[in-house]
Structure 1
Amino acid sequence: MHAWIDVEDGVRLSVDVHLPADHADGVAALVEALPYRKDDVTASYTSSYLRYVDAGFAVVRVDLRGTGSSGGIATDEYPAVELHDLAGVVAWIVEQPWSSGRVGLFGTSYSGFNALQLAAAVDALGLTALGAVVAAYATDDRYTDDVHYCGGVLRALDLIDYPLYMVAMNALPPTPSRLDGDLDSWRSAWLRRVDETPAWLIEWLEHPLDAPTWRRGSIRLGPDGAGYERMGCPTMLIVGWADGYRNNSFRVVEQYSRHGLPWRLLAGPWVHQAPARARPGPNVDDDKEIIAFFDEHLRDGPPSAASPGQVYVREPVAAEPDLAFHPGRWVDLDGWPTAGVRRLRCRSTRSDHERLRVHGDVGVAAWNSCGGALPWGQPLDQRADNARSLCWDWPVMDLVDTPDTVAGTDLLGTASVSLRVSSDRTFGHVSVKLCDVAPDGTSTLITRGMLDLRHVGCWPADAAGEVGRSPSDLVPGEWLDVTIGLEATTWRLVPGHIIRLAVAGTDWPNCWPPPGALTLSVDAGSVVLDLPVVDGLADSTHRFVPGEGPSDDDAEGVEWRIQHDVLARETRVATRYGGTYDGVDGAVVTDDYRGELGVSIIDPASAWARGTSSFEIVWPDVTARTTARLHVESDESELRAEIVLDVWEHDELMRSRTWRTTLPRS
């Protein structure tokens, strides 16, 4: 059933309530709150939630303010008012005759973010009814571990995806039937939304440094200086090692354990999709695990697992962009750091100073940090990138105590790299990649890290830095001692293989390249690779129900191209995907996403990104269409961005808006 919730400032939120057949004695409610339009763009999600209903929970889906069929304006991701809106939703649920008074919040990506944020506001907002949250593929830090920045460097490939398609999606109108089919009122509400909703990306580009806009919504450290101690209810984290939010795992569990907070961690090999269907497998029935967690904490059911953490330790495998299965095994964790974890320090045996001319397109083989549905696939063989990087190799046989591959040594946690480096310019980026090299020479990416050297000493880009410290230009030729954290991961160290550290000056197209041609120098003898390893971890005793697995048509209609313009000395990458699907009230939705990025091989400052995202929704009585176009380009002095939004009703152009910003690169 559909309902309206009036929040404290009078804005009406559109919600759908799914009730179990037997709710006379009151049932716990599970809330998902998204800006992704429950009535059409994500209408297909409903089938999954009906499993929760069959398990005896009410499910409440919410269109966030300014999106879908809700009123108000969506001013940004995770605005402060969003938590107050969600508190109003919780209060409304508690007052319903079908409610037991217990509420959980759950979701993937955006709704995982706000689930964590609301859990951190339990005391501040008096949310005694909020009993547990589940956050899949979310993060505790929006500046370092989201689609915006990485180590102080702008993320590039993400620009043509989520930041762009949210401009087009936020401009779509409410579902006409939610306004009783009154097309005049519907049109008025729609055009107000188009006229007043900003392009979120402009705000993100204009805040390239850590700032209150990023602390808002980051449970790691909020704008008031408070951190994980704010968390007010049990939390389940779902993490994918091929996803971009993998750091929301060991780091968070360690803090939860330190503060005595109940937690559950499910960390598998997956990309940014539901574990039941994501590549690569093994796939597990995540709905079953979520139901068990909420049953434990909202209905006083049995423990959802004997150990709170189930983590998949990956084994070496040849890289494939659409890898369907990653070999490995599940292990249990009772806390973090887990018993027996130790630091394995791999030191360089070289003593020279090595110079690296920075090429703009190193990183193409690693692709996007956040794997997802194609074309946002998994990394390729790293040999081409390794060849244009400075590399250090350590045979696994020299690192482990035993050649026993059954009770062997596993990399588990967050590794780091320490080195002395200098740049011949006032700027420079350092990209580090950890690879597994098989006996046949195949180089498979394990994990990576990135740091803008101007951010050395500045938290959170530099995890060892000071909070509130500002970046500063480099002194050309001056040596810097830096430590770069790699993203959380797992990996079996197999004798006969080689662990390779590859150091480069770019990670394109994952990150925007530095503002000019440069040469990095590395003191080869200073290089230390610090690995968290555990010996002899037993297999998990937890038994998963297998998931359905990925569909066979994932690549249908998808483009993922890499092109080299030899004479122009330019590398380009291009993507395209989209589809047509049904919404409620007879709606038919078509979306189309196209993007292209380019960079000069010899002058990294010369880079660009162009993209187009379009939505069309055809209802029985009216058609709405939106198209957002993006153009970003840079040189040594500036980064310039333009977004153009066009909005049509049928074939009549109703509105056209343009946003521009120009930012210095120093």
Structure 2
Amino acid sequence: MATRAAGRSEQVWITMDDGIRLAASLFLPASDAPQPCLLEALPYRKDDITSSYTEEYERLRDEFSYAVCRVDLRGTGSSQGVAVDEYPLREQDDLVAVVAWLAAQPWCDGGVGMYGTSYSGFNAIQVAMRRPPALKAIVPIYATDDRYTDDVHYMGGSLRLLDVVDYPTYMIAMNALPPVPSIAGPDWRERWHDRLDRTEPWLLRWLDEPLDGPYWRHGSLRDSSLDTGESYGNDYARIAVPTMVVAGWADGYRNNSFRTVAQLRDAGTPARLLAGPWSHMSAESALPGPHLDLVAELARWFDRWLRGADNGVDAEPPYTFFLRESGGAPEPDAAQVAGSWRSMPDWPNTTWRCPRSWAIGGGTRVLAVRADTGTAAWNSCAGRLPWGQPTDQRFDDAASLTWDLPTETEPLTLIGPGWVSLRVAADQPLASVSVKLCDVADDGTSTLITRGFLNLAHRAGHTEPVPLTPVEFTDVEVELETCAYTVLPGRRLRLSVSGVDWPNTVAPPRPVTLAVDGDRSTIHLPAPQNHDPAPRYDQGQRAVEGDAVAWRISDDVIDRVTTATVEHGSTWDIAGGTCTDRYSASVTVDRRTWRQTSTSTARFTLTWGETSVSTECAVELTADADHLTVAITLQAYDGAAVVSKRCWNHQAARRFG
């Protein structure tokens, strides 16, 4: 599409019913004719930390003639108020009001769309559940319909240990930064000090909510009736606006893909899936590729549902995805992976069960679980390095129970989620099971296809855990993460089972021995569906990484301690100055006692002319046999002077692992 005349940008305040003002940036087309408006709402500071998003907003404005609004959520960036938690009810109330405000502006034709990556994908789903009249379509990117099972807090009923050192840490430091002086005005320091005094770490609440329930159901589309006590039947029917879900097979929110689109379509809502091989990064540059121009795809979707354009997007197959296939050795920073774009006209609903099954066999086998098993795929949500792709799994396979399934003479295509039925026993009341499915080459290279994890106390559900009876066998089902993958002829399909997935999740409280009765265990995989070639998208470009990236696994042989360490940082230009982030973290496990620690430090520095401010957060979490103990220190600097120092110490019992 030819580039149109550049529009204009402006900063505005949107006042809420309680008087709090939200800071917003508007990107308005050059045309005087009213246009639909697209909204993205994030806590990640529009004017500095994520100021690079501006290029996307300008493209939507100048190439596709959309008005665009980017909002700093309450208590973040330059907006007033306090950020009390992620996705609070007040935040949804605010965004419903923002949608109405946008629709009433003279430059808007009354139609609003919401979209965004991760956090803004979540709130696009949540606001759509509220059904504001002016909201006409949404595009959640790398988000999910279930905050407990498929977010960064818990996995299979266990704490996501690695995520403690990442997202919670930098959000504490980010939420403590001041408003931008040129936007907030001369009293910006007063507002900053108020924010420093009143903002609490979100992590503390998350540690106090280890079980599913009303806290996690709030903002979850799946089974959200638990949040209100009302019955909605199919909860997905709460969303009536056309929805395009964008997912990545290397992203932690991949399970939202097929199931959400299928459920929305079953409820009569127009829905589309676009899933690539990507990590938690832009589809134009994510590791790995191939890539596509997602801005153009967004415009096609919104053109159809906000402008009524007869562009055929609703007549295309509703499921378009990249089907990976057997290729070279897995690399942590792979720029491209083998496969092809495919499409499907339909997808089974939730009553469908995988018809392709294999008995594992081999009798009963016993594993003395090694506490550090999992470092070859230690992060289930890849993103910008050092959060990279899984490496060769053969080293974790060697510390697991493994079964090689018969070699196929025809390509074996897996599309969707599968599961493993296991008959297991453990010598401890609190134990877990980690399952991985790998593609094994002739030279022994083992590539991860999909994984599953279950805290065995949660075998009957995530609301009322029941510890195991030691050494007594029990039957469990472990759901495998959604994938789209073809195993080529001559390759082997390997199932590996361990008792930990470390440090992706916290290991059980004490050393454990696991037994698996293979004769009464079965693997169930999604059978091939009718899938056709889809358009080949542009390859895109490899992402540019930060200027300080490290990713290390080390072994203290004498003390029997394994440590995973990451570091990264960047400096970039912002309006009137610079922004710098620096981050370092490590996670350790004692292989004798299974005591685990995570330590992390995140620091942000903003400069505007002669003014320089910084915040630094340090988080240390210890998981011993009985407790999770966390210590948090937050310091803020105005120039070289410390203007605030706050400390939190918190302990939660490990009742169910």
Secondary structure of the residue that 1:120 maps to in structure 2?
Answer: helix
Per-residue deviation, 1:428: 0.3
* Counterpart residue identity of residue 100, structure 1: D
CA distance in 1, matches of 2:49, 2:539: 24
What is aligned with 2:5? none
Asked if structure 2 preserves the Cα contact closer than 8 Å seen for 1:425 and 1:518, the reply is yes
Which residue type is aligned with residue 18 of structure 1? F
Alignment of 1:185-204 (within 5 A): 185-204=187-206
| C-alpha contact 1:436 1:445 (8 A) present in aligned 2 | yes
CA distance in 2, matches of 1:364, 1:442: 16
Give deviations 1:209-238, integer Å, cap 9, x for gaps.
Answer: 112221111111221254212112011111
The match for 2:552 is 561
DSSP-derived class of the 1:534 partner? coil
Alignment of 1:592-603 (within 5 A): 592-603=582-593
Q: Residue 347 in 1 paired to residue 359 in 2?
A: yes
- Secondary structure of the 2:508 match is coil
Contact 2:546 2:570 in 1 (8 A): no
Q: 2:614 aligned to 625, 635, 640, which one?
A: 625
Residue equivalent to 2:23: 14
Matches within 5 A, 1:537-552: 537-540=531-534, 542-544=535-537, 546-551=538-543
CA distance in 2, matches of 1:65, 1:555: 29
1:304-334 residue CA offsets vs partner (Å, 9 max, x unmatched): 2622221111001221000111111111122
CA–CA distance in structure 2, aligned partners of residues 378 and 66 of structure 1:
34
Instruction: List per-residue Cα deviations over 1:446-480 (Å, max 9, x = no partner).
Output: 11111111111114xxxxxxxxx411222111111
Would you say the 8 A contact 1:362–1:388 is kept in 2? yes
AA aligned opposite 2:204: I
1:173 aligns with 2:167: no
Which amino acid is the alignment partner of residue 595 of structure 1? Answer: A
For residue 47 of structure 1, what is the aligned residue in structure 2? 55
CA distance in 1, matches of 2:530, 2:204: 49
1:383 aligned residue: 394
- In the alignment, the residues of structure 2 paired with residue 535 and residue 622 of structure 1 have an alpha-carbon distance, to the nearest angstrom, of 59
Task: Give the alignment of 1:411-560 within 5 angstroms.
Answer: 411-459=414-462, 469-534=463-528, 537-540=531-534, 542-544=535-537, 546-551=538-543, 553-554=544-545, 556-560=547-551
Mapping of residues 33-112 of structure 1, within 5 Å: 33-54=41-62, 55-112=64-121
SS at match of 2:521: strand
**Structure 1 Cα separation of the partners of residues 607 and 647 of structure 2:** 25
CA-CA distance at 1:250 after TM superposition: 1.1
Matched with 2:4 is none
Q: Is the 8 A contact 1:591 1:615 kept in 2?
A: yes
* CA displacement 1:101-157 (0-9 Å, x = unmatched): 0000010000000001111110xxxx1110000111001111111110000010011
Q: Give the match for residue 320 of structure 2.
A: 310
Q: Which amino acid aligns with 1:316?
A: S
In structure 2, distance between residues paired with 1:356 and 1:519: 6
- Residue 648 of structure 2 aligns to a residue whose secondary structure is strand
Whole-angstrom distance in 1 between the partners of 2:644 and 2:547 = 33
Q: Which of 398, 404, 424 lines up with 1:393 in the alignment?
A: 404
CA contact (8 A) 2:431 2:499 kept: yes
Which residue in 2 is equivalent to 1:158? Answer: 163
Q: One-letter code of the match for 2:389?
A: Q
The separation in 2 between residues aligned to 1:359 and 1:664, in whole angstroms, is 24
User: Which runs of at least 4 in structure 1 moved beyond 6 Å after TM superposition?
Assistant: none
Instruction: Note if contact 2:426-2:513 (Cα within 8 Å) is conserved in structure 1.
Output: yes
Question: How far, CA to CA, are the matches of 1:633 and 1:160 in structure 2?
Answer: 12
- TM-superposition CA deviations, 1:239-283 (whole Å, max 9, x none): 000010000111111211211111111101010011110011111
For 1:429 and 1:550, how far apart are their aligned partners in 2? 37
Q: Is the 8 A contact 2:401 2:497 kept in 1?
A: yes
Q: 1:396, CA displacement in angstroms?
A: 3.3
Query: Structure 1 residue 650 and structure 2 residue 639: aligned?
Result: yes
**TM-score of the superposition, structure 1-length normalised?**
0.93
Say which SS state the counterpart of residue 396 (structure 1) adopts.
Answer: coil
- C-alpha change, 1:88 and 1:621, in structure 2 (3 Å) is farther
Q: Is the 8 A contact 2:433 2:498 kept in 1?
A: yes
SS at match of 2:376: coil
CA distance in 1: counterparts of 2:76 and 2:360, whole angstroms: 53
Q: In structure 1, how many angstroms separate the alpha carbons of the residues matched to 2:26 and 2:171?
A: 25
CA deviation after TM superposition for structure 1 residue 495, in Å: 1.5
Task: Give CA-to-partner distance per residue, 1:67-126, whole Å, 9 cap, x none.
Answer: 00000110000000111101111111112111100000010000000001111110xxxx
1:220-235 → structure 2 map (5 Å cutoff): 220-222=222-224, 223-224=227-228, 226=232, 227-235=235-243
* Other-structure match for 1:462: none
Q: Once the 2 structures are TM-superposed, how far is the Cα of residue 583 of structure 1 from its aligned partner?
A: 1.9
Tell me if structure 1 keeps the 8 A contact 2:384–2:545. Answer: yes
For 1:659, the equivalent position in structure 2 comes to 648
SS of the residue 1:144 aligns to: coil
- Does the CA contact (< 8 Å) of 1:40 and 1:587 recur in 2? no
Partner of 1:465: none
Deviation, structure 1 residue 537: 3.1
Decide whether the 8 Å contact of 1:612 with 1:628 is kept in 2: yes
| Partner Cα separation in structure 1 for residue 92 and residue 499 of structure 2 | 40
Give the 5 Å matches for 1:268-347.
Answer: 268-301=276-309, 302-304=311-313, 306-317=316-327, 318-337=329-348, 343-347=355-359
TM-score by length of 2: 0.95
Give the distance between the partners of 2:577 and 2:205, measured in 1 at CA.
Answer: 32
Distance (Å, rounded) in 2 between the aligned partners of 1:547 and 1:42: 24
Q: Distance in 2 between matches of 1:555 and 1:562?
A: 20
Q: How many Å separate the matches in 1 of 2:71 and 2:312?
A: 29
Residue 131 to residue 26, structure 1, CA distance change in 2 (3 Å): same
Query: Closer, same or farther in 2 for the Cα pair 1:396/1:121, shift >3 Å?
Result: farther
Partners of 1:359 and 1:603 within 8 A in 2: no
Once the 2 structures are TM-superposed, how far is the Cα of residue 556 of structure 1 from its aligned partner?
A: 4.2
Aligned equivalents of 2:347 and 2:416: distance in 1?
9
Note the C-alpha offset of 1:538: 2.5
Cα distance in 2 for residues equivalent to 1:264 and 1:416: 25
Whether the 8 Å contact between 1:412 and 1:490 is mirrored in structure 2 is: yes
Aligned-partner SS, 1:490: strand
Q: Are 2:567 and 1:576 aligned?
A: yes
Q: How far apart, in 1, do the equivalents of 2:332 and 2:589 lie? A: 22
1:138 aligns with one of 138, 143, 158: 143
Q: Which amino acid aligns with 1:550?
A: R
Partner SS, residue 213 of structure 1? helix
2 CA distance for matches of 1:342 and 1:589?
49
Gaps of 5+ in 2: 1-9
Between Structure 1 and Structure 2, how many residues are aligned? 634
Given that residues 151 and 252 in structure 2 are in contact (C-alpha distance below 8 angstroms), is that contact kept between their aligned partners in structure 1? yes
User: Could you report, residue by residue, the CA deviation over 1:541-561 in whole angstroms, capped at 9, with x for unpaired residues?
Assistant: x353x153213x437420001
Q: What CA distance in whole angstroms lies between the structure 1 residues aligned with 2:183 and 2:59? A: 26
Aligned to 1:400: none
Q: Kindly, what percent of the aligned residue pairs are identical?
A: 45
Give the deviation of 1:535 after TM superposition: 5.8
Output the amino acid matched with 1:311.
Answer: F
Q: For residue 136 of structure 1, what is the amino acid of its counterpart?
A: I
SS in 2 for 1:653: strand
Measured in 2, the distance between the counterparts of 1:113 and 1:618 equals 31
Distance (whole Å) between structure 1 residues aligned to residue 193 and residue 323 of structure 2: 50
Provide the C-alpha distance between the structure 1 equivalents of 2:217 and 2:76, rounded to a whole number of angstroms. 23
Distance, in Å, in 2 between the alignment partners of 1:341 and 1:497 is: 25
Pairwise CA distance, 1:494: 1.5
